[in-house]
Amino acid sequence: MATTAPAPQLSALEQKLQKSKTSKTAWVGTAVFTVMLVVGLGYIITKLSKDLAAVHSASVFPYLLLGVALLIALGFEFVNGFHDTANAVATVIYTHSLEPHLAVVWSGIWNFIGVLTSSGAVAFSIVALLPVELILKVSKGSGFAMVFALLVAAILWNLATWWRGLPASSSHTMIGSILGVGIMNQIMQGRSGTSGVDWEQVTKVFKALLFSPLIGFAMAALIFGLFKLLLKDERLFKAPEGEEPPPFHIRALLILTCTGVSFFHGSNDGQKGMGLIMLILVGTVPTAYALNHTVDRGSVQTFAAVSTQVAGALHNYEEPSAVVGDSGQELERFVSSHQYQPETMLATEQMVIAIRNEAVSYGSLGNVPQDMQANVRNQMYLTSEAFRLMAKSGPKMNAADAAVIANYKGFLDKSTRFIPTWVKVAVALALGLGTMVGWKRIVITVGEKIGKTHLTYAQGAAAEITAMITIGLADGYGLPVSTTHVLSSGVAGTMAANRSGLQLSTIRDIAMAWVFTLPAAALLSAGLFWAFNAIAK
């Protein structure tokens, strides 16, 4: 007689979802996000159409290329939502503080707000890791090959780890992809294979990615220990019983921390794709996006006066013997190699004067001719990067000159490193949609597979507070960190502090994903960059 195989055991989350399928929160949450999606798409289409109205192109190719590139870039943020946004809701779901569908929508709303209020510092710290020669050629075949390789490699690896239910880091994946493109670019150029990568910037970012999980583990354990020492409510340290929500004050704390993590996740992780989207926009339609058209005639006049001050300040540090043939080539060499030479100062002064004369002649950045927008942007970008590096490797400047240069650099960055609001809305919607579609796998891992016992209220709050503080501080310093790793390590830290025991197989898998993400993403992006570059020739 044939025997029937036993049905696979459902996870605690799946059991909870089965009971809540007919609940009002399920369809209310979907309806709220649907309204946000429709309104957001309407806003994006309106703003994008208005921006593109200034573009006069006889060919439809730039628009087709723009559409494909934006879909891929937003696809990265969509898959990012599978991973990172899901972490914010795990604790409120497993402590029954919020019904799952409502938790996802609530987190999505605060992610949206976080993205909209983000500064853009993280976005451009990612761009600063890219080979400068590819950034300057972003409208050429090699520039597009770079952007597509980065994004497709990141999407493929994120999908692979999500499918396995592993909380891998989108930040880690992006850094690996950037390394792969930079090294392959230099191999293809026949040079050392490393000079195209800004290793100083990579090291700075990688340290943040390396230490944030360790900080998350230790801080969450410490906060949990403080809870035990200071809070006498025994219910905080027990697993939820049945389906009942926790007492009001505990529930309020958990919802507040979920809100904070969601907000800071949006303000930090939401920026990772923004810088690449801006490179796409500059490459496909430079007329609309190469320069910030909100910089008006009055600002340009002020800029001209400051430029004259800066040129005078730089002249004080020039060597009489310095001679420069092409100031742009000299600055590109300096930004690529980080090796200061006497000619660098003279080239910088010449470029400052050239940018000043162009800005004054056009009156405002919006009046720069269509075929000159990308060129003026490249001049500004190179000069800004030269000043950033000169502060470390150039001659020591007095405080007054350094202040004038910092003010001038701020104008350059305002002119070239801007993010339109519609881009932020698009990224926020992509993140939210990804969360709505793929949140369950990672939530189950965080909520059920890290510790051997069910998550207690205090453990959930400690892990979320840790993630909120860590991501908030990183955002303030313009550093990308992994929400996934910070929260996962925070949960592990509370389990260790409570001596609840850890599921070592899950910890091993997460650690293996952490170790292999960098080389795997680098190999993927390097191979894709080589292939795309061959096609683009």
Q: Mind listing the pLDDT tens digit for each residue in 88-111?
A: 777 787 777 888 778 888 888 888
> Which sequence spans correspond to the domains of the chain?
38-47+59-289+421-536, 299-417
User: Burial of 486 by CB count in 10 Å (0-12 exposed, 13-18 middle, 19+ buried)?
Assistant: buried
Higher pLDDT, 483 or 67: 67
Token pair recorded at residue 518: 């960098």
Average pLDDT for the chain: 81
User: What is the mean pLDDT of the segment spanning 430-443?
Assistant: 73
The alpha carbon of residue 170 and the mean position of all alpha carbons in its chain are separated, in whole angstroms, by: 8
State whether the Cα torsion 151-157-159-162 is positive or negative: negative
Quote the pLDDT of residue 197. 64
Q: Which residues contact 160 (CB under 8 A, 6 or more apart)?
A: none
The segment with the largest mean pLDDT, out of 132-141, 155-164, 300-309, is 300-309
**How far is 396 from 383, CA to CA, in rounded Å?**
18
For the cut 50, the answer to whether the pLDDT of residue 125 exceeds it is yes
Q: Find out whether 154 and 177 touch, Cβ atoms under 8 Å.
A: yes
For the cut 90, the answer to whether the pLDDT of residue 233 exceeds it is no
Cα-based angle 492, 493, 497 (whole degrees, multiple of 5) = 120
